[in-house]
């Protein structure tokens, strides 16, 4: 398989992918039309921030399976289009954590002590000692917007300087904040109380322009603002006016709405410290993210293991051996259920029982959806786009967990519903890895879910099994296995016949005409 590296990454990352058996092309600096013209021949794409993976590029990527970003930000990737096409989008969120946190602290010191301005003054032959009066960080309040990996590291470093750290993060619990000595506050409280404000959140509809003239008016006079996150979180026009008026004493910016900045008035102000998006620019960070993205791309393309995906639940390496058998079982249950259920579907419920209720269920549920949709749709369905396709078709997904698995250690079941009709298929794992279907609409069975199957409903009468066997033999179709279940002696029964070749429509019709046969369905797994 071929991988395109379209932005500069460490050569070590390229070597890792080649060693894994991937064919790697490094083509840096391509124009959008050039990328669109060549992307169709690649299964993998490795980028940083320069390459723009737009909808047009993704539509032209007929073979593409994965996009890997060496870094954390993915605002240069059309994730929605990629997901619809079933392309895994992954990043390396931990690779530049320390580097970006350290750069934030460097900017914090710089804006507090005017170090870049003083350096420029001295290099111009001046000695302006009184001009560059700074402020201490000691016992000042640092407000952190976003307490993820980077924000948490900034908080630790600021606490080491004996700063008072407060934070706003909608996903941060009060207990976790208290355990780290950080006071959780609302965004309004953070603006009011902070002497310094540093931003460590992605740009979203909620965070775009969150620092603007209105929120700045609520801040302390002389506040200082640091942004090593993303351009656009700060309204640059409003910040410019606040810096000119002195409401904001200083700003330290590593990111801008437009990069490189084009005649940005912020760069004309003496109280602005700026760097050209250097948050992740250290030798160590570049090596870390290149190695991380290369290993992730290789793991996915060679072994099918997904890590750090933003559009699919990632599976840590240590969980893969335990989860993979459940994923296989769920996919088989989905495929089987799709082929026995007739008509439209409005709801799919995945039940996890016994030991199965204790696993990471998200990827297993997606496997069940993928398995269900694959036999009934012409389009390509995979683990990434399956939930999107289900939602577009109005299928509601549910999960149920229970400690009760009946006679089994673990069980996964699919309940398919539509307007009062439903089917129920359950399965388990034998020897912790071998999938079996053990329940079909109330009938207890023990089916190996693979290959070609005939699902036959029949009256429980003598001679049914023999007549099926004779018919298969007459048509030169070998029977690999036969599985049976019944409601009660003489009542309705179920027969599942595993065969070595695909029967013709004529053979299926012959089976239907046999005595005591009620219905026949052909299933391929």
- CATH code (residue 239): 3.40.50.720
> In the prediction, which pLDDT does 378 show?
66
The answer to whether residue 120 sits within a structural domain is yes
Q: Choose the final residue of a domain: 430, 464, 496.
A: 430
Which residues, 6 or more positions from 281, have their beta carbon under 8 angstroms from its beta carbon?
99, 103
Regarding whether 327 and 351 lie in a shared domain, the answer is: yes
Regarding whether 460 and 395 lie in a shared domain, the answer is: no
Question: Per residue in 256-274, pLDDT tens?
Answer: 999 999 899 999 999 999 9
Would residue 415 show up in a list of annotated catalytic residues for this protein?
no
Regarding whether 304 and 326 lie in a shared domain, the answer is: no
Regarding whether 393 and 288 lie in a shared domain, the answer is: no
What are the percentages of helix, strand and coil residues in the chain, rounded to 5?
A: 35, 25, 40
Q: Is the pLDDT of residue 419 over 90?
A: no
The answer to whether residue 327 sits within a structural domain is yes
When mean pLDDT is compared across 224-233, 239-248, 301-310, the lowest value belongs to: 301-310
Q: Is the pLDDT of residue 446 over 70?
A: yes
Regarding whether 146 and 19 lie in a shared domain, the answer is: no
Would residue 483 show up in a list of annotated catalytic residues for this protein?
no
The answer to whether residue 38 sits within a structural domain is yes
Q: Could you give the CA distance from residue 339 to residue 253 in angstroms, rounded to a whole number?
A: 57
Question: Per residue in 83-137, pLDDT tens?
Answer: 989 999 999 877 888 999 999 999 999 999 999 999 999 999 999 999 999 999 9
Among candidate residues 48, 69, 200, 277, the one labeled active-site is 277
Q: Could you give the CA distance from residue 306 to residue 233 in angstroms, rounded to a whole number?
A: 30
Q: Is the pLDDT of residue 38 over 90?
A: yes
CATH number at residue 370: 3.30.1330.90
Model confidence at 252, pLDDT cuts 50, 70, 90, reads very high
Q: Choose the final residue of a domain: 226, 255, 274.
A: 274
Question: Per residue in 466-496, pLDDT tens?
Answer: 999 999 999 999 999 998 888 888 889 999 9
Q: Which long-range contacts (CB under 8 A, 24 or more apart) does 480-484 make?
A: 480/451, 481/448, 483/445, 483/446, 483/447, 484/445
Regarding whether 325 and 379 lie in a shared domain, the answer is: yes
> In the prediction, which pLDDT does 480 show?
92
> In the prediction, which pLDDT does 188 show?
96
* Tokens representing residue 97 in the block: 């954590």
Among candidate residues 230, 307, 436, 483, the one labeled active-site is 230
Q: Is the pLDDT of residue 286 over 80?
A: yes
The answer to whether residue 441 sits within a structural domain is no
Q: Which long-range contacts (CB under 8 A, 24 or more apart) does 110-116 make?
A: 110/252, 110/273, 111/196, 111/224, 111/226, 111/250, 111/251, 111/252, 111/273, 112/136, 112/137, 112/196, 112/224, 112/250, 114/250, 115/273, 116/273
Average pLDDT of the residues of the chain: 92
Question: Per residue in 155-174, pLDDT tens?
Answer: 999 999 999 999 998 877 77
Regarding whether 164 and 40 lie in a shared domain, the answer is: no
The answer to whether residue 442 sits within a structural domain is no
> In the prediction, which pLDDT does 67 show?
97
Q: Choose the final residue of a domain: 364, 396, 430.
A: 430
Among 91-95, 148-152, 223-227, 304-308, the range of highest mean pLDDT? 223-227
Phi and psi for 417 in degrees, rounded to 5? Answer: -130, 150
CB-count exposure of residue 286 (10 Å: 0-12, 13-18, 19+): buried
* Tokens representing residue 28 in the block: 């840096």
Regarding whether 165 and 206 lie in a shared domain, the answer is: yes
Taking residues 58-87, report their average pLDDT.
92
Regarding whether 213 and 72 lie in a shared domain, the answer is: no
Among candidate residues 136, 162, 259, 284, the one labeled active-site is 259
Regarding whether 296 and 236 lie in a shared domain, the answer is: no
In the chain, the number of structural domains is 4
Q: Could you give the CA distance from residue 310 to residue 351 in angstroms, rounded to a whole number?
A: 25
> In the prediction, which pLDDT does 78 show?
94
Q: Could you give the CA distance from residue 394 to residue 464 in angstroms, rounded to a whole number?
A: 41
Question: Count of H helices and E strands in the chain?
Answer: 17, 22
The whole domain housing 82 covers 2-94+284-312
Are 144 and 155 in contact by the 8 Å Cβ rule? The answer is yes
CB-count exposure of residue 366 (10 Å: 0-12, 13-18, 19+): buried
The answer to whether residue 435 sits within a structural domain is no
The answer to whether residue 443 sits within a structural domain is no
Residue predicted with more confidence, 94 or 147:
147
Regarding whether 270 and 370 lie in a shared domain, the answer is: no
The answer to whether residue 215 sits within a structural domain is yes
Per-residue b or e along 106-122, where b marks 16 or more CB atoms closer than 10 Å to that residue's CB: bbbebbbbbbbbbeebe
The enclosing H or E element of 126 equals none
CB-count exposure of residue 497 (10 Å: 0-12, 13-18, 19+): buried
Q: Is the pLDDT of residue 379 over 80?
A: no
Regarding whether 485 and 383 lie in a shared domain, the answer is: no
What residues pair up with 3 in beta bridges, in sequence order? 24, 44
Percent of the chain scoring above 70 in pLDDT: 99
Model confidence at 319, pLDDT cuts 50, 70, 90, reads confident
Sign of CA dihedral 385, 386, 390, 396: negative
Work out the number of other CB atoms within 10 angstroms of the CB of residue 469: 13
Q: Is the pLDDT of residue 139 over 90?
A: yes
Q: Is the pLDDT of residue 410 over 90?
A: yes
pTM: 0.66
CATH number at residue 488: 3.30.70.260
Percent of the chain scoring above 90 in pLDDT: 77
Would residue 393 show up in a list of annotated catalytic residues for this protein?
no
């Amino acid at each position: 398989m071929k991988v395109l590296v379209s932005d500069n990454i460490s050569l070590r990352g390229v070597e890792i992918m080649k060693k894994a058996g991937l064919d790697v092309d490094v083509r840096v600096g391509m124009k959008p039309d050039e990328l669109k013209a060549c992307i169709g021949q690649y299964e993998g794409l490795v980028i940083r921030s320069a390459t723009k993976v737009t909808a047009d590029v993704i539509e032209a990527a007929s073979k593409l399976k994965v996009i890997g970003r060496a870094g954390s930000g993915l605002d240069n990737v059309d994730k929605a289009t990629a997901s619809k096409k079933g392309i895994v989008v992954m990043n390396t969120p931990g690779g530049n954590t320390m580097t970006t946190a350290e750069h934030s602290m460097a900017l914090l010191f710089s804006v507090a002590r005017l170090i870049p301005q003083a350096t420029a003054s001295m290099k111009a032959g001046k000695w302006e000692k009184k001009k560059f009066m700074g402020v201490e960080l000691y016992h000042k309040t640092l407000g952190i917007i976003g307490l993820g990996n980077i924000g948490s590291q900034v908080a630790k470093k600021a606490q080491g300087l004996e700063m008072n750290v407060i934070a706003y993060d909608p996903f941060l619990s009060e207990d976790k904040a208290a355990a780290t000595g950080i006071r959780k506050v609302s965004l309004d409280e953070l603006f009011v109380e902070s002497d310094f404000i540093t931003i460590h959140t992605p740009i979203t509809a909620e965070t775009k322009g969150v620092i603007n003239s209105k929120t700045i008016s609520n801040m302390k006079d002389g506040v200082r603002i640091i942004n090593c996150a993303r351009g656009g979180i700060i309204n640059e026009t409003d910040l410019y006016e606040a810096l000119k008026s002195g409401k904001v004493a200083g700003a330290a910016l590593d990111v801008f709405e437009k990069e490189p900045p084009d005649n940005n008035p912020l760069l004309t102000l003496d109280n602005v410290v700026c760097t050209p998006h250097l948050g992740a620019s250290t030798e160590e960070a570049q090596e870390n993210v290149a190695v991380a993205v290369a290993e992730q791309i290789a793991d996915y393309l060679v072994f099918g293991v997904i890590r750090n995906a933003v559009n699919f639940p990632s599976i840590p390496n240590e969980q893969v051996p335990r989860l993979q058998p459940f994923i296989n079982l769920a996919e088989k249950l989905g495929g089987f259920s799709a082929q026995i259920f007739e008509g439209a579907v409005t709801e799919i419920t995945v039940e996890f029982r016994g030991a199965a209720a204790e696993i990471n269920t998200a990827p297993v549920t997606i496997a069940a959806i993928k398995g269900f949709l694959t036999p009934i749709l012409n389009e390509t369905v995979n683990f990434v786009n399956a939930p999107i396709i289900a939602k577009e078709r109005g299928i509601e997904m549910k999960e149920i967990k229970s400690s009760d698995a009946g006679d089994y250690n673990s069980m996964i079941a699919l309940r398919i519903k539509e307007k009062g009709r439903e089917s129920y298929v359950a399965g388990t794992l034998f020897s912790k890895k071998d999938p079996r279907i053990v329940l079909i609409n109330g009938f207890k069975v023990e089916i190996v879910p693979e290959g070609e199957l005939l699902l036959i409903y029949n009256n429980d009468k003598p001679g049914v099994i023999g007549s099926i066997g004779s018919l298969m033999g007459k048509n030169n179709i070998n029977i690999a296995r036969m599985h049976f279940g019944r409601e009660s002696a003489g009542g309705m029964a179920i027969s599942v016949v595993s065969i070595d070749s695909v029967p013709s429509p004529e053979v299926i019709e012959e089976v239907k005409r046999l005595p005591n046969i009620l219905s026949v369905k052909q299933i391929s797994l």
